[in-house]
Structure 1
Amino acid sequence: MVSELRLYTETQYLEKAQTYQSVLSLRGVDVNIELVEKLNARFLRLNPEMALCADDAGLWLSANGMKMQPDWKAEIPRLKRASLKSEMIARACNLSEKPSLIDATAGLGHDSLLMAVLGAQVTLIERHPILFTLLEDAQAQSRHDPFLGLVVDRIQLVFSDSAAYLQQLAEQKKMVDVTYLDPMFPQRDQNLQAVKKQAQVKKQMQLLHMLLPEDGEMDLGDYLLVLARKISKRVVVKRPRLAIFLDDQSPDHQWQGDACRFDAYFNKQVIE
């Protein structure tokens, strides 16, 4: 895990950068602020190492000439088009019932945003201090948007390891309506050669993969599924369409799309 990082900023955003520096320090990441004359595309190309950037758009992650943040405002057109009937994830997660939902594999938070728009009360779990801080900044900025402001109030960010969080709920015998899993590295467990020939990962995901290197089976989500089934009325796993089942457990129901599918596991001891 990254424990030390540069943070590039211009003079006019120094105070903002110092705030990010303080927050990340409390989360175990040493950030060294470097003032630059112009934080633009040329500068990023000339400084390809992984770093953070702070400007009028907030906090960014940069590397190899690319920059990334959980740009929740860019999701607004899709969110406005979304409906319970049009979104497969809504049927899989039973969002018409406005469930309490844990998203245990945060990513950039886009699925959580969509589920919150469609009625879920979402607890979004992230263990990586840098990604959590990026998500936290995205949520803070979204509160000022007329459309997103109401949506993000239905998302609670929790800085925790998902396995530890789910285990604690299990020990406390607490239940939630839905736990949602979208493992970061599903390509490692696909058993069909054709599936491995994927298109180039989007720039945002390239940087996310650089920040979150594979570090064991937890990235496959197998153990998360075991824990989630203990504390959830329903567990929904997003998978590439041809990927094997998570933890080799056959789902109780599936929703199939062209590129992905949703596998659902129901808690037989709970009457829905």
Structure 2
Amino acid sequence: MPFPLYAPLPETLERAAELARRYGLELVATPPDAGYWLALTATRLELAAAEGHGAVVADFVEGAARHRREFGGGRGQPVAKAVGLKGGAMPSVVDATAGLGRDAFVLASLGCTVTLIERSPVAAALVDDALLRASSDAGTAPIAARMTLVHADAAEWLLTLAEADRPDVVYLDPMFPDTGKSAAAKKDMKAFQSVIGDDLDADRLLVAAMAVAKKRVVVKRPRLGAPLSGVPRTGELPGKSTRFDLYAPKKPA
């Protein structure tokens, strides 16, 4: 069943219809009585809920994205080191589990060309909206220009790439069920996870990523989380709360 999209203002209906067509959403005249829906306001697209948690929004202009852009530490950030941003290196990156696009935006802000792959229509629509707003802001427009969103199954999409289009790095941040061992996530992010679902096929995605990446595959994990199964790592970069597992590309037979 298509995910509902509610546009309460007449001036947002055209944009809402465009998003509905692009991501297979259902444009509704009134918000549902229960559950979740996307709401297109005068300023942004939000994931809303009858339960009343804070709205989930992808935002590359203000808030945490702006603070990280201005004070995040540049190439010294763990994610930058993990993808190989050192010296004059500027690898091309496919973020194959884009989510809300936060790490992809950091990499693009540091100069990388990033393709964001997201199979969830809800997450893809939220990132689409964030990119539109970022493209209209003088401070983030050059960064947004280095970001391309693709709504697709990442494992399938990667394996369609021609040799000339293969990225240097494939970046994965798969979402898994909450085990209860980590600190409780905010209610809004728990809602986001419940809507887009868990990446229980991450092992399949890792295999596809290794077949395509030219230089490395990077997998973001909880600091104490188990590595993805079936493939040995070539290294890891531990942090305070997260860890980046590194994998070498699979050599052609």
**TM-score higher than 0.5 here?**
yes
Q: TM-score range by the shorter chain?
A: 0.7 to 0.9
* 1:56 matched to 2:42: yes
Larger radius of gyration: 1
Could you tell me how far apart the structure 1 residues matched to 2:74 and 2:248 are? 20
In the alignment, which of 171, 182, 194 is matched to residue 180 of structure 1?
171
Decide which moves more: 231-240 or 140-149: 140-149
Listed one character per residue, the Cα deviations across residues 75-106 of structure 1 (whole Å, up to 9, x for unaligned) are 11111123444301111101231111000001
DSSP-derived class of the 1:106 partner? coil
Give the structure 1 partner of residue 246 of structure 2. 264
Could you tell me how far apart the structure 2 residues matched to 1:8 and 1:176 are? 37
Is the 8 Å Cα contact of residues 21 and 31 (structure 1) preserved in structure 2?
yes
State the TM-score, normalizing by the size of structure 1: 0.82
Could you tell me how far apart the structure 1 residues matched to 2:251 and 2:29 are? 53
* 1:128 matched to 2:115: no
Could you tell me how far apart the structure 1 residues matched to 2:229 and 2:160 are? 21
| Cα deviation, residue 199, structure 1 | 1.8
Give the structure 2 partner of residue 200 of structure 1. 184
Q: Pairwise CA RMSD of aligned residues?
A: 2.3
Is the 8 Å Cα contact of residues 17 and 27 (structure 2) preserved in structure 1?
yes
Could you tell me how far apart the structure 2 residues matched to 1:261 and 1:249 are? 17
DSSP-derived class of the 1:205 partner? helix
Is the 8 Å Cα contact of residues 217 and 248 (structure 2) preserved in structure 1?
yes
Counterparts of 1:17-36 in structure 2, within 5 Å, are 17-34=13-30
Q: Which runs of 5+ in 2 are unaligned?
A: none
In the alignment, which of 206, 217, 241 is matched to residue 200 of structure 2?
217
**Cα distance, 1:4–1:125 mapped onto 2, change above 3 Å:** closer
DSSP-derived class of the 1:62 partner? strand
Is the 8 Å Cα contact of residues 5 and 20 (structure 2) preserved in structure 1?
no
Q: Which runs of 5+ in 1 are unaligned?
A: 36-43, 189-195
**Cα distance, 1:49–1:18 mapped onto 2, change above 3 Å:** farther
| Cα deviation, residue 262, structure 1 | 0.4
Give the structure 1 partner of residue 58 of structure 2. 70
| Cα deviation, residue 18, structure 1 | 4.0
Is the 8 Å Cα contact of residues 186 and 239 (structure 1) preserved in structure 2?
no
| 1:24 counterpart letter in structure 2 | A
| 1:224 counterpart letter in structure 2 | L
Listed one character per residue, the Cα deviations across residues 39-76 of structure 1 (whole Å, up to 9, x for unaligned) are xxxxx9xx553122222321111012121110222211
Could you tell me how far apart the structure 1 residues matched to 2:20 and 2:172 are? 26
Listed one character per residue, the Cα deviations across residues 12-31 of structure 1 (whole Å, up to 9, x for unaligned) are x3221342134313432222
Counterparts of 1:1-272 in structure 2, within 5 Å, are 3-9=2-8, 13-34=9-30, 49-63=35-49, 64-66=51-53, 67-73=55-61, 74=63, 75-96=65-86, 97-169=89-161, 172-174=162-164, 175-185=166-176, 187=178, 196-214=180-198, 217-218=200-201, 221-232=202-213, 233-267=215-249, 269=251
- Once the two structures are aligned, what percentage of the paired residues are identical? 32
**Cα distance, 1:56–1:81 mapped onto 2, change above 3 Å:** same
Counting matched residue pairs gives 244
Higher fraction of helix:
1
Higher fraction of strand:
1
DSSP-derived class of the 1:263 partner? strand
